[in-house]
Chains A and B, each alone.
Chain A
Amino acid sequence: DGGITQSPKYLFRKEGQNVTLSCEQNLNHDAMYWYRQDPGQGLRLIYYSQIVNDFQKGDIAEGYSVSREKKESFPLTVTSAQKNPTAFYLCASSIGAGPSGELFFGEGSRLTVL
């Protein structure tokens, strides 16, 4: 079945460590996104990529980095510069930037900083 796979599902990190969250999709979608979800705040866009080897900052990109070397993969690195990294991270993809409007989401990765 086609879909989006995020790993790991749960991750614990010590302060000062970088951590990379994996996101892989087999939907052949051009666009991919990373959102952060905090209780009571909805989802906020971290980074997005419309095509391979190109990505743009979202609303809360500070302390995060991404790469898009392959169409199906869009890993997110949470760096030690991110002041409050404990959150639920969601990866999504869409066919493109056209009017379909539908984002397909993975099941998320929960990061806890100890």
Chain B
Amino acid sequence: AQSVTQPDIHITVSEGASLELRCNYSYGATPYLFWYVQSPGQGLQLLLKYFSGDTLVQGIKGFEAEFKRSQSSFNLRKPSVHWSDAAEYFCAVAGPGGYNKLIFGAGTRLAVHP
């Protein structure tokens, strides 16, 4: 069955430091992968997505992610974190029902120290 694992439940970084959030997926075919961000008490916003082509994808707010098929990973990165990046981040894969039936990971909560 398709699944998404985000190994880190909580991550704390200092403002200005680099960030990498891990995501591993299980999917039998070429995956369609997404990263979403959720501020407290809010809905989710799409950061970036990967369908095909270049394995390094750029998103909004300075985020990027790299698809590595050999590692079944789609890690999210940002070179310099801002205090406003504190939020919960969800990795998702399109499930067998179609592109928009997403299977989400459990999320990683990011805290940013000043």
Contacts and interface: CB of A to CB of B under 8 A. Distances in A.
Interface bracket on B:
20 to 34
B74 interface: no
Q: How large is the interface on A (under 10, 10 to 19, 20 to 34, 35 or more residues)?
A: 20 to 34
Interface of B: 4, 9, 32, 34, 36, 41-46, 49, 51, 90, 94, 98-102, 104-107
Q: Which 8 A-B pairs have the closest CB atoms?
A: A105-B43, A42-B104, A43-B104, A42-B106, A105-B44, A97-B98, A94-B100, A102-B46
A41 B36 CA distance: 15
B100 A31 contact: yes
A97 B90 contact: no
B43 A90 contact: yes
A45 B95 CA distance: 11
B99 A48 contact: no
Contacts of A100: 99-100
A66 interface: no
